[in-house]
A and B are shown apart, each in its own frame.
Chain A
Amino acid sequence: MTQGAVEQSFRFGNTELPPEASEATRKAKRLAWLTIAFLVTAVTLVYLVMGSSQAMKAAWAEDLLSFIPPIAFLVAMRVTGRVPSEQHPYGYHRSVGIGHLVAATALLTMGAFLVFDSVSGLVAGEHPPVGLIVVLGWEVWSGWLMIAVLAYTCVPAVLLGRAKMPLAETLHDRVLHADADMNKADWMTAVGGIVGVLGIGVGLWWADSAAALFISASILRDGLTNLRVAVTALMDARATTVDGSAPHPLDDRIDEVLRGLPWVREAGSRVRDEGHVFHVESFVVARDGMPTPEQLQEAWTVVTDLDWKVEDLVVVPVDELPEELLPGLRGR
């Protein structure tokens, strides 16, 4: 445990990270802290100027929710750093999945609540009052201040999101990916809010609730997408790319390199996404009889050399590929 603290940024449990991934870890952590610092300023400013605008309220709620992913990421990073123990022989990688599930549920709940809130505002025909505010002796229409604050919140979020996206792919970290995705979408929230406030300004009372509805619908959509990917991963679905859109390329490559070994006649693997790393069970059928310990060791080496994400590889020599364990065979 003491060694874990020092080497945390270089390891996920037993997995030693290559330099590229170590660097990505360091950068991602720094960006997570930067995001939290930025959000503190955004939440404070939006709260100070929000008045009774529905759109500002939705934008504020979104900023508050945006704290969850970077915090979940930092916590998950700490937890995955632990080495497997007797109690946790598979390590602590699932913390990423749990963090992702928590973040997705928070998004979904808040999105649903805000959609309800803005729809009822529209139906009730609520006319939002936006009056004067005195700033340093100047009398300003609060709407201009709201617009200025929204414009401020939009730029850093987009930049942070763009910086995080490639790191999320390198680290295969879904919490970071969800976070980056939300940050990237933040400019829509800000622009939606600005349109709503301008709408109030020109006397369209419904513009505010309509903008709020647009913002909350995007929060709800984020929540649904993330919940689906998080639950799928926790259900031990076949490993996919970090955004959950396609099967992970490693899946096929593992079988390819195994079949490439001269003594191997057939090979099939199950790959399960534990978080940052994959747990792989590879079944191999040797050309003549049982493979030797050296051959099995060779199989282990070629697969684990493929990518740092391959952790806990189990190579099982079999007479015939087991169809019940490899449902993919049935289609062949």
Chain B
Amino acid sequence: MTTTRRRPAHAALPLVVLILAACGVTVPTDPDGTLDTVRGGELRAGVSPHEPWTQIGPDGAPTGLEVDLVEAFARTLDAEVVWTDGGEEELVADMERGDLDLVVGGFSASTPWTSKAAVTVAYVTVTDPDGKPEGHVMLTPMGENAFLVELERFLLEQEVEAP
């Protein structure tokens, strides 16, 4: 019984991929369409001050390595960055509600926010105070995988020097 039923399952796989490609569906796709909304529009970014990665200037404008990276990423998407600053918890909650598309703030790969936000690949690895290597990451909304992959592609292309 298994042989007869196993074959179609295997044969179907490349077929499924072909059909998806033919329909113009890109894999992965965002369930909430974040990448599509951001492209050519606004990138709503949250920034939490965490020197030397991010700082909030006296005029309220964010600066720092991660802020520059986000600005450069937005340019590749023809988007304008709208910054919101605040504490990590507040910003992650905003992103969970769908009010933010991205949060930066010197997060490391071992961030405790992994159950509330998607974590990108590390764009730079530094040595932490204990002498262990530590990757630095950004946070994006859960499950918005096209947006996540787009950002990760951009980050992997950058050659970032640790501040």
Listed in ascending order, the chain A residues whose CB lies under 8 Å from chain B are 52, 126-134, 139, 141, 143, 147, 151, 154, 158, 161-162, 184, 187, 191, 194, 198, 200-205
Contact = CB atoms under 8 A, between A and B. Distances in A.
B153 A198 contact: no
A132 B119 contact: no
Contacts of B152: 131-132, 139
Interface residues of B, number: 30
A130 B13 contact: no
Interface of B: 2, 6, 9-10, 13, 16, 20, 25, 27-31, 114, 118-121, 140-146, 148-149, 152-153, 156
Contact of B27 (A127, A141, A158): A141
Contacts of A131: 118, 120-121, 145, 148-149, 152
Contact of A203 (B13, B31, B156): B31
Nearest to A184: B2
Contacts of B2: 158, 161-162, 184, 187
Contacts of A204: 31
27 contacts: A126-B142, A127-B31, A127-B142, A128-B142, A129-B119, A129-B140, A130-B28, A130-B145, A131-B148, A131-B149, A132-B149, A133-B121, A134-B121, A139-B153, A141-B149, A143-B28, A154-B6, A158-B6, A187-B6, A198-B16, A200-B143, A200-B145, A201-B28, A202-B20, A202-B28, A203-B28, A205-B31
A187 B120 CA distance: 32
A147 B20 CA distance: 15
Given A128-B142, A151-B13, A202 B118 contact: no
Given A129-B142, A151-B13, A202 B148 contact: no
Given A128-B143, A131-B149, A139-B153, A202 B6 contact: no
Given A130-B28, A143-B27, A203-B28, 20 more contacts: A127-B31, A129-B140, A129-B145, A130-B145, A131-B120, A131-B149, A131-B152, A132-B148, A141-B28, A141-B145, A151-B10, A154-B9, A158-B6, A187-B9, A198-B20, A198-B27, A200-B143, A201-B29, A202-B20, A203-B29
